[in-house]
């Protein structure tokens, strides 16, 4: 049985992908899981229904930037694996308020690396041979592709948003902690995820909840930007394989070979919802509204997942068609999950047009001149 007698730290385990990883570890392996999460706006402990009363699950409300709290957790639980998914993850929010992205994604990862290294150094040799620090990253670190080509593990980094720049920085820190201090690290870079329990600021759940409310469906720019979609449960399986069987020091790109233009994604969601719940006002495609583009909007992402397929035997189980249909059905059958988020104050408004960043810049220029 996989992860026998293993303690796994999952940071960001109350988020979209972290919760999918924990559901997989609890359902399909013998791992004991410690979910370490600060509980930001993006967190939701209801995303792990199997955690209730599970003797293999612990939760700690801790910021990965809090060295003392992390040290106490390492001493208490003595993990065999650390999977770092804690992050600020939304590109639009990073445009308006980059500071928190620097704090969590860079300084937080640095703090976690330091505490993991301290723990690693105190282990005996067999325990050191088993220990892994797995950093979960994104394809956005590679920047934007033209119409042809795929991101591979050797594509040079060229991040374009405050979010992707902060993720790229954290990837570099992880590399340096391996090269300089010998911490056994693995990095994975994945494409866009979608599926159940996805906070409704991201494209797919955003469009589903707006379509159900009969509200305008915002498509940024011309809607021809391409993303490479992966069902979140496929990603969770890939991550568990990578931390357990991946080679130390290696990077694995993860993707579903499912490129799709945003406008096509939005149109398909409208058709899927219309089939299940037709609207008296007619087809929901009429709600599609082109709005101002995202500043610095990357045009195309596409992953070559050949390495993880060949070396770890992973492949995506869902196609984009099957995964998207499942996702739409999930949002229709689990309205309580996302309606609670709306009731707690999330307004699904447009963000990321940079007023806050402009204000920060004006304040800095003013301070510099004074
Ligand atoms: P998410 O925003 O849904 O969840 C992030 C979680 O991290 C939340 O539960 C939040 O409370 C927690 N968190 C934030 N700051 C923290 C801190 N300082 N200390 C402890 N916990 C903190 O994000 P996600 O979509 O699940 O992404 C998880 C990871 O995967 C991120 O590193 C992201 O960059 C990466 N990633 C995401 C995607 C995607 O499509 N969503 C694709 C590739 C990679
Ligand atoms: O590629 C991996 C990345 O995918 C992850 O690292 C990020 O954490 C994750 O948020 C995601 O980033 P994107 O910026 O690609 O995802 P988002 O859902 O915000 O947007 C997807 C595309 O849809 C993007 O081209 C912007 C566009 N969009 C988004 C929203 C919210 C719209 O056209 N309208 C919208 O309302």
**Distance between CA atoms of 175 and 241, rounded to whole angstroms?**
20
**How big is the CA angle at 249 (ends 244 and 254), to the nearest 5 degrees?**
65
Cα→Cα distances 309→255, 256, 257, 315, Å: 10, 11, 12, 6
Residue listed under structure tokens 């189980």 = 317
Task: Check if 139 is active-site.
Answer: yes
**What phi and psi values does residue 107 have, to the nearest 5 degrees?**
-65, -40
Ligand 1 site, residue 106, Cβ cutoff 6 A: no
- Nearest listed ligand to the Cα of residue 87: 1
Q: Which ligand is nearest to the CA of 222?
A: 2
The full length of the chain comes to 370
Ligand sitting nearest the alpha carbon of 141: 2
Determine the distance separating the centroid of ligand 2 and the alpha carbon of 346, expressed in angstroms. 18
For residues 158 and 155, give the distance between their C-alpha atoms in angstroms, rounded to a whole number: 9
Decide if 163 is catalytic: yes
What is the rounded CA–CA span in Å between residue 317 and residue 326?
13
Q: Whose CA is nearest to atom 19 of ligand 2?
A: 202
61, 137, 354 from 295: Cα distances, Å: 34, 22, 8
Ligand 1 centroid–CA 11 distance in Å is: 9
Residue of 88, 139, 233, 318 marked active site: 139
Distance from C-alpha of 355 to C-alpha of 359, rounded to nearest angstrom: 6
Helix (H, G, I), strand (E, B) or coil at 167: helix
- Residue keyed to tokens 């979608």: 194
Cα–Cα distance between 45 and 35 in angstroms, integer? Answer: 10
User: Would the CB of 107 count as within 6 Å of ligand 1?
Assistant: no
Structure tokens at 97: 């308020």
Of 226, 105, 85, the residue nearest 163 (C-alpha): 105
Distance from residue 91's CA to the centre of ligand 2 (Å): 7
- Global pTM reads 0.96
Q: Ligand 2 atom closest to Cα of 87? A: 8
> CA-to-CA distance for 136 and 280, rounded, in angstroms?
44
* The three-state (H, E, C) secondary structure of 75-122, written as one string: HHHCCCEEEECCCCCCHHHHHHCCHHHHHHHHHHHHHHHHHHHHHHHC
Give every CB contact of residue 26 below 8 A, 6+ residues apart in sequence. Answer: 33, 48, 50, 51, 54, 56, 57
Cα 80 to averaged position of ligand 2 atoms, centre (Å): 33
Whether 42 and 16 have beta carbons less than 8 Å apart is answered as: yes
Of all protein residues, whose CA lies closest to atom 7 belonging to ligand 2?
89
CB of 140 shorter than 6 A to ligand 2: yes
Determine whether 42 is exposed, middle or buried from the number of CB atoms within 10 Å of its CB (0-12, 13-18, 19+). Answer: buried
Ligand nearest to the CA of 204: 2
- Mode of pairing for the β-strands spanning 226-228 and 259-261: antiparallel
pLDDT in tens, the chain (370 residues): 899 999 999 999 999 999 999 999 999 999 999 999 999 999 999 999 999 999 999 999 999 999 999 999 999 999 999 999 999 999 999 999 999 999 999 999 999 999 999 999 999 999 999 999 999 999 999 999 999 999 999 999 999 999 999 999 999 999 999 999 999 999 999 999 999 999 999 999 999 999 999 999 999 999 999 999 999 999 999 999 999 999 999 999 999 999 999 999 999 999 999 999 999 999 999 999 999 999 999 999 999 999 999 999 999 999 999 999 999 999 999 999 999 999 999 999 999 997 655 555 566 667 766 6
Report the Cα 157 to chain-centroid distance in Å: 18
Query: How high is the pLDDT of residue 367?
Result: 72
- The helix/strand/coil state of 235 is helix
Q: Bridge partners of 34?
A: 9, 58
Beta bridge partners of 231: 194
Report how far ligand 1's centroid is from the alpha carbon of 184 (Å): 22
Please indicate whether residue 88 is annotated as part of the active site.
Answer: no
Largest CA-CA distance found in the chain, in angstroms, rounded? 67
Tell me which residue has its CA closest to atom 35 in ligand 1. Answer: 137
Which atom of ligand 1 is nearest the CA belonging to 89? 2
Q: Is 19 in the pocket of ligand 1 (CB under 6 A)?
A: no
């Amino acid at each position: 049985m996989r992860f026998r007698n293993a303690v796994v730290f999952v940071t960001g385990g109350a988020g979209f992908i972290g919760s999918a990883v924990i559901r997989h570890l609890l359902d399909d392996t013998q791992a004991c899981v410690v979910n370490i999460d600060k509980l930001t706006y993006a967190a939701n402990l209801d995303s792990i229904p199997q955690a209730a009363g599970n003797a293999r699950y612990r939760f700690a409300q801790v910021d990965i930037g809090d060295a003392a709290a992390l040290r106490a957790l390492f001493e208490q639980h003595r993990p065999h694996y650390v999977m770092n998914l804690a992050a600020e993850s939304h590109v639009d929010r990073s445009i308006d308020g980059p500071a928190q992205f620097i704090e969590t994604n860079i300084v937080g990862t640095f703090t976690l690396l330091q505490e993991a290294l301290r723990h690693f150094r105190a282990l005996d040799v067999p325990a050191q041979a088993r220990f892994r620090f797995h950093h979960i990253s994104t394809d956005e670190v590679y920047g934007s592709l033209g119409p042809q080509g795929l991101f591979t593990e050797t594509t040079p980094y060229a991040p374009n948003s405050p979010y992707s720049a902060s993720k790229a920085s954290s990837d570099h820190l992880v590399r340096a902690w391996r090269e300089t201090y010998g911490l056994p690290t693995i990095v994975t870079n994945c494409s866009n995820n979608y599926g159940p329990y996805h906070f409704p600021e991201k494209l797919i759940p955003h469009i589903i909840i707006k379509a159900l409310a009969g509200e305008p469906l915002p498509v940024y720019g011309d809607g021809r930007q391409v993303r490479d979609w992966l069902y979140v449960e496929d990603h969770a399986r890939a991550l568990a394989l990578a931390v357990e069987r991946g080679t130390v020091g290696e990077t694995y790109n993860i993707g579903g070979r499912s490129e799709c233009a945003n406008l096509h994604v939005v149109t398909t969601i409208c058709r899927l919802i219309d089939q299940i719940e037709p609207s008296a006002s007619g087809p929901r495609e009429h709600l599609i509204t082109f709005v101002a583009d995202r500043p610095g909007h990357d045009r195309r992402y596409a992953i070559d997942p050949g390495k993880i397929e060949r070396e770890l035997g992973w492949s995506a189980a869902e196609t984009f068609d099957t995964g998207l249909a499942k996702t739409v059905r999930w949002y229709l059958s689990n309205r309580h999950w996302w309606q609670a988020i709306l009731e707690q104050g999330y307004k699904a408004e447009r963000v990321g047009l940079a007023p806050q960043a402009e204000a920060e810049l004006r304040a800095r220029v003013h301070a510099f001149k004074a």
